[in-house]
Amino acid sequence: MLFGYLNLISLATWLPLLSLIWCAYSTNTTATNLSLPVVDLGYECHQAISLNETGGYFNFSNIRYSEPPTGNLRFRAPVEPSSQDECLITNGSEGRVCPQSAGNWSIIAREFAQSYVAGLPFNYDLAISLLPDSPAAVSSDGRTTEDCLFLDVIAPQSSFNRNVSDLPVLIWVYGGGYSSGEKTGNGKFNPAGLLAASGGEPGFIFVAMNYRLGAFGWLGGDEVGADGTVNSALYDQRLAFQWVQKYIHLFGGDKDRVTVMGASAGAGSIMHHITSFGGAKEAPAFNQAIMFSPAFAPAPTDYIPTMTLDDLMQMLNVSSLDELRSLPSDTLIAANALQIYSHAPYGNNMYGPSLDGSFVQALPGQLLANGSFHKNISIMVSHNTLEGLTFTRPTIKTSEDYLNMFRHSLPTISNETLSFISDTLYPAVFDRTYGYKDQFQRALATVQDLAIICNTRYLADAMSDRAYGVQFAVPPGIHGQETSYVFQNGLTSGVTTSVADSLQSYIVGFVMNSVPTDVDGSPIPLYGPAAQLMRMAPSGSSVISDDTANARCSWWQQGLYA
């Protein structure tokens, strides 16, 4: 089953563009190095690498926020940089990308989605036969390094002229199935459109960070817990949020007005921050969150994380985490790429958040249901109308195929529970009474409920008096489609401009004034007891009732499928 299609479509198509520019946000730059500001962080002095004169903002690129997570720090929580007596000036001209990969199924998913939406036949066997043998044949990136924990700060020029630290901050957490992605999206996550939508001065500050991926950031199981950090990538993100608290005033930002925003795996990560430590420890370092299609493959036990670790060790002929930690970087980078590419089941990139007894004490839905989450956070949460298409195997045609989907993705599920799902929640009735017309659509509905859509219901229901809901209904409504609307900057193709303008207006209104408002000033209503959503479509926006407020999502939220 799942997870993480956001940017998997583009993994093979964007990576050849990597050599285009040294700074993904830098355009229309004429300022000299002498005129670009320098910020003293205590451990380095970082100079802006560019000034966008059209937008009026500086780009501080590739700022280190952690010591290199290498050597003994591999598979452990990150450590903040050590202070330095000497102010060494750097401008972040060297880009960094965390080691990554994607399952070979994502290539098929891209092709199948295009055929399905167009109503064309799809030859699955042919697609399988044409797959490249290895991830190296799909993509490579010379910037790849384990020492990848860097972030970018895009700050208005006026914030330095005014010498005041009062601007709201928007932190971007990218998606990519917990196995791929990087902070700029190779230029696709350019905030120019969002910054322009703020109406100019005073504007806001945009921050984007890298975090560890695949085996480097998401190893799980008891052995990792005993001699490492399960979910170390969540700690990467947490450290980046804390970095903003400590340093953003130097760029003109207000640490008490921080919104985090993510899509797909990025939004799924944010969901885990909201439920971090069961709501009992220090709250995450943000007061607002925007989550587009929060997604992850639920791991109700440590069975799958343990099997994934064992599989990686077997590939590398090692028998302990300590041996794995001692391997050369190139060896582990190659093994991580090959494991995910070749071993990941359809719709799933093998890695992601898992239970650790600390940061992730239970499934987020369970924690939200019993009140074990950080409550002083306002949210805007959104889902698309066809989320499951890119995660559902095209060959599901029988009830046995449907049941086998669960046996592979939830291997500890009981026969009794499986029968309840297949007989009661998603029965094999194909007259559209249950929203599907065949076995494939039945599987699609199940996948998107379990791993994406119901997550939005859990969040909005638990935080209903501080939640704003959106349904992104621009056809075809596949997972990740809204991201091009979020970052529309006038140059983005295939985007309905009116919808993009409204979505960016909602985002900016929420970031700057805590209320998402359209270009005409009309707000999205609170989710509230009535479970209201703003439906966004090419024909316009309208308030509807949330159809995820249903028995299916209520059952999934209990986590009874362990």
Tell me the C-alpha distance between 184 and 493, whole Å. 18
Convert 212-224 to b/e letters by CB count within 10 Å (16 or more is b): bbbbbbbbbbebb
140 has catalytic annotation: no
Tell me the C-alpha distance between 483 and 185, whole Å. 11
Residues whose CB falls within 8 Å of the CB of residue 36, separated by 6 or more in sequence, listed in order: 47, 48, 49, 50, 51, 58, 91
Tell me the two tokens of residue 388: 């499951």
Tell me the C-alpha distance between 151 and 207, whole Å. 7
264 has catalytic annotation: yes
| Residue of 154, 153, 104, 150 lying closest to 130 (CA atoms) | 104
Torsion, Cα of 213, 271, 196, 493 (10° steps): 60
Tell me the two tokens of residue 171: 């932190």
Question: For 536, phi and psi rounded to 5 degrees?
Answer: -105, 120
Give, as one character, the DSSP assignment of residue 4.
-
Among the options 139, 264, 378, 505, which is catalytic?
264
Neighbours of 365 (CB within 10 A): 24
Among the options 111, 223, 387, 482, which is catalytic?
387
Tell me the two tokens of residue 166: 């009062």
- Determine contact, residues 517/511, Cβ cutoff 8 Å: no
Residues acting as catalytic residues: 264, 387
